[in-house]
Amino acid sequence: MMCRQFQPLWTVVATCLLAVSLEPVCAQERPGTARVPGAQSGSPPARQAQAESGTAPRVERPAADTIQQQLPAGMDELLLKWERESARIERLRGDVTRFVYDSVYLVEERSVGKFWYESVDKGRMDFKAVKLPDPPVSRDKQGANGKPYTLESGANERWICNGKEIFLIHDDNKLYDLVRIPPQQQGRNIINGPLPFLFGMKAEQAKARYGLDYGKLHRPEERIVQTKEGKRVRLPVQYHIIATPRTRVDAAEWSRAEVLMYGSFIPKAIRLLNPTGEKETVYAFSEMKVNEKIWINNPFNDRPPSSYTLDNNNRAAAEQPVDPTRPIVPTGGERERR
């Protein structure tokens, strides 16, 4: 992660829509500018200034006459089932691989790590640098001109939310960022602020906040296919949901999010596209453990070592009233000037 600023995590899912909310590349920004995993570059300078001054953007609710959207068949039922099933997840941990693609500079950044989630408002993601092949050229990603992307390793860093504070620890530079979450946004109310978690979001809130559709990999029923060799293969149920922002604060951070889930509604992969469409971040999850009774070490209690320097100290702002007459910015539209 080379560009750092705080953004909705669901966004990591729930953010880990991960959910949670739960990040990206901007090599020219200083390493102390904080960003929650899932965040993308591309926010206007005014938003950069807000982050540095500690005034986070408010979350806007769509006007009452505009929140209705025409959903594809079965989406209502799927959202309700997703809500019920995700509410049963009290603890989740596993491995995560992050890919960040920059279509301007044709760079692919890779990181590997682990993640932890605990209901209702605790999360952690640790990322480590990876060893690159020689030459460092991507075999899978090419630009419009056919030129392959150049591979780069991500930084060694940790993102920890204990429900009251968020630490972004930059181990390579021995720096850390800190955001304190106001009491009114802690607990279940965190999904109503600028740092929402995927797990726990209600179906009605999702419909009001995001435009929703199915992706190409959506498979609501099990299928049996036959390979070229004549072998029958079972394809299990998986859900592929595409979300687009319906509020200014979300549209200022990302333009499209895709969530791929197993039939059990455990996240399989998350893809985020920044507002300009020039950077995309993909999280691929594996080796997940659900609702383990005991974690020997509490992953949310870690703090930066005393030798690290606090580089940025922001405070998440409480949600402010929103004028319902103010129009919602469509995906890709002009964002409100602040």
4-48 confidence digits (pLDDT tens): 433 333 333 334 433 333 333 233 333 333 333 444 444 433 444
The tokens describing 213, both together, are 């559709």
pLDDT digits (tens, 9 = 90+) for 226-258: 999 999 999 999 999 999 999 888 888 889 999
The fraction of the chain above a pLDDT of 70, given in percent, is 68
Residue range 147-165: average pLDDT?
94
pLDDT-based confidence at 307, cuts 50/70/90?
very high
In the predicted structure, residue 76 carries a pLDDT above the cut 60 = yes
pLDDT-based confidence at 279, cuts 50/70/90?
very high
Write the CATH number for 135: 2.50.20.10
Residue 147: inside a domain, yes or no?
yes
Q: Would you state the pLDDT for residue 8? A: 35
Residue 328: inside a domain, yes or no?
no
Q: Would you state the pLDDT for residue 314? A: 62
Q: Would you state the pLDDT for residue 173? A: 94
pLDDT-based confidence at 315, cuts 50/70/90?
low
The tokens describing 324, both together, are 């319902």
3-state secondary structure 169-185: EECCCCEEEEEECCHHH
Residue 60: inside a domain, yes or no?
no
Q: Would you state the pLDDT for residue 176? A: 95
Could you list the beta-strand ranges (E) of the chain.
Answer: 91-102, 107-118, 122-128, 137-142, 148-153, 157-161, 165-170, 175-180, 210-214, 223-226, 232-235, 238-245, 256-262, 267-273, 279-290, 309-315
Q: What letter does residue 193 receive in the DSSP assignment?
A: T
The number of domains in the chain is: 1
In the predicted structure, residue 50 carries a pLDDT above the cut 60 = no
Q: Would you state the pLDDT for residue 107? A: 97
Residue 121: inside a domain, yes or no?
yes
Residue 21: inside a domain, yes or no?
no
Structural domain harbouring 239: 45-54+75-313
pLDDT digits (tens, 9 = 90+) for 173-215: 999 999 888 887 777 665 554 444 455 678 888 888 899 999 9
H or E segment and range at residue 14? none
Q: Would you state the pLDDT for residue 185? A: 76
Torsions phi, psi for 113 (to 5 deg): 180, -160
**What is the per-residue DSSP string for 234-291?**
EE--EEEEEEEE-SHHHHTT-SEEEEEEETT--EEEEEEE-TTSSEEEEEEEEEEEES
More confident residue, 313 or 286: 286
Q: Would you state the pLDDT for residue 181? A: 85
Residue 98: inside a domain, yes or no?
yes
In the predicted structure, residue 123 carries a pLDDT above the cut 50 = yes
- Mean confidence (pLDDT) of the chain: 76
203: three-class secondary structure by DSSP: helix
Q: Would you state the pLDDT for residue 309? A: 95
Q: Would you state the pLDDT for residue 19? A: 38
pTM: 0.74
